Amino acid sequence: MKRGLICVIILLAVTGCWDQRLLKEYTLIKATSIDITDEGRYITTVSAPLPGGEGEGDQVVSAEGNTMGENKILLNRKMPEQVDDSKLRILLLGERAVEEDIFPYLDRFYRDPQSALDARVAVVKDKAQEALFFTNEHKPETPDYISELMESGEVTTLIPKLNIQFICPLLFDEGQDLLLPGLRIAKNDIEIDGLIMFDGRNKSGELTPEESTLFLLWNNQMGKDAEFTFKVGDQKERNLNFIHVSVMEMTRDIDVKVDDFTQEVNVFMNMELMVNVEEYPPDDLLEREVTASLNQLMEQQLEEQSKELFDKMKQVNCDGLGIGRKIIANDYDYWESVEWSEIFPTVNFHPDVTVEIEQTGIVN
């Protein structure tokens, strides 16, 4: 009797495996791309390992439909097992797709509790599906290559650390705009090609790789490394006119003030960079006058580049630094009295940069 009672209790306590998901029943998607047709239909392309581990590389399949959900049904008809993107590593959006509201493409990921919200997101110049169909004998598994490429870009301060989850708050934030990594398909490669600027949920412009690194420093998003090349001379021997430095340490401060009388918004910005000289053929860095002159030349160029950067962002109404967010926090009455999308293009940026050569390598 006692033994039977114990068995009943154990049976009641054990919930079983009613929600189990067997891997053999699913095709795990590693990368997904989304493009838009002239008629406004979605083209979803997925990349997954070959069934049964058959050889090197991935299987790439596309479907066209009216919604992301409909495309998932169509993909299930073409693949040996059910499509499962819970292990998704990369989400690629086509250039044309981001010209309109990008939230509809992401909506399904936010509603599904099993979505891989940590998947990286990027915009591909032209059609995103071309990146998944890209083949190279040295890169047989394209999704892994793109993921590692973007991870490297984060480390070297070419792109910010962003994923599907991090994007969501920015899409609903009136005081800050989104910038997504841009990828370009070259002749024999896929490469990082700066950042894509957004005005709200729509693409509004692009930053070059050099502008992207500078923006990330001002936005306090420096990775492990950041490097710059500056022209510091005008000699006949061209290779003597440049200096290449890496940033060792940086600090930056941004102060936003609204003039009580004119209601103008002024952004006072200060950035201090400690740099290591990676390359400088003239090699006269032990002279204080020389290092002081080089510091000044680099400061002038960074300040000028910063002004051009912020003018470019103002032209396309991309508040990537979150100036509006700072006004919401410090002067909410002013924020409520204006339309920020009309005010941001008139904001005055005042960048001030200090550069100090801290190390010159092992060459004296």
pLDDT in tens, 198-224: 999 999 999 999 999 999 999 999 999
CATH number at residue 238: 3.30.300.210
Pair type for strands 58-65 and 82-84: unpaired
pLDDT of 136 > 80? The answer is no
Q: Could you tell me which of 214, 359, 360 has the C-alpha nearest to residue 301?
A: 214
Both 286 and 148 in a single domain? no
Q: What is the pLDDT of residue 243?
A: 92
Both 109 and 134 in a single domain? yes
Both 135 and 172 in a single domain? yes
Q: State what percent of residues in the chain have pLDDT above 90.
A: 66
pLDDT of 13 > 60? The answer is no
Q: What is the pLDDT of residue 330?
A: 92
pLDDT of 14 > 70? The answer is no
Q: Mean of the pLDDT values across residues 344-352?
A: 97
Contact 248, 238 (CB under 8 A): no
pLDDT of 167 > 90? The answer is yes
Q: Which of 21-35, 192-206, 278-292, 327-341 has the lowest mean pLDDT?
A: 21-35
pLDDT of 4 > 70? The answer is no
Both 166 and 232 in a single domain? no
What's the pLDDT band for 2 if we cut at 50, 70, 90?
A: low
Both 188 and 241 in a single domain? no
Both 195 and 228 in a single domain? no
Residue 1 lies in a domain: no
- The boundaries of the domain holding residue 320 are 210-364
What's the pLDDT band for 184 if we cut at 50, 70, 90?
A: very high
Q: Decide which of 207, 225, 257 is a domain's last residue.
A: 207
Q: Decide which of 207, 231, 257 is a domain's last residue.
A: 207
Both 68 and 158 in a single domain? yes
Both 302 and 326 in a single domain? yes
Residue 46 lies in a domain: yes
Q: What is the pLDDT of residue 295?
A: 95
Residue 279 lies in a domain: yes
Residue 308 lies in a domain: yes
Both 221 and 287 in a single domain? yes
pLDDT of 140 > 60? The answer is no
Both 191 and 247 in a single domain? no
pLDDT of 282 > 70? The answer is yes
Residue 42 lies in a domain: yes
Residue 14 lies in a domain: no
Cβ neighbors of 300 (< 8 A, separation 6 or more) are none
Q: Mean of the pLDDT values across residues 107-118?
A: 90
pLDDT of 281 > 60? The answer is yes
Q: Decide which of 173, 207, 241 is a domain's last residue.
A: 207
Contact 118, 164 (CB under 8 A): yes
Both 228 and 347 in a single domain? yes
Q: How many separate domains does the chain show?
A: 2
What's the pLDDT band for 320 if we cut at 50, 70, 90?
A: very high
Residue 3 lies in a domain: no
What's the pLDDT band for 10 if we cut at 50, 70, 90?
A: low
Both 75 and 183 in a single domain? yes
For 43-101, how does the pLDDT look when each residue is reduced to its tens digit (9 = 90+)? 999 998 876 655 566 788 999 999 988 999 999 898 888 888 888 999 999 999 999 89
When the pLDDT of each residue in the chain is averaged and rounded to a whole number, the result is 88
Residue 18 lies in a domain: no
Chain position carrying tokens 């600027």:
197
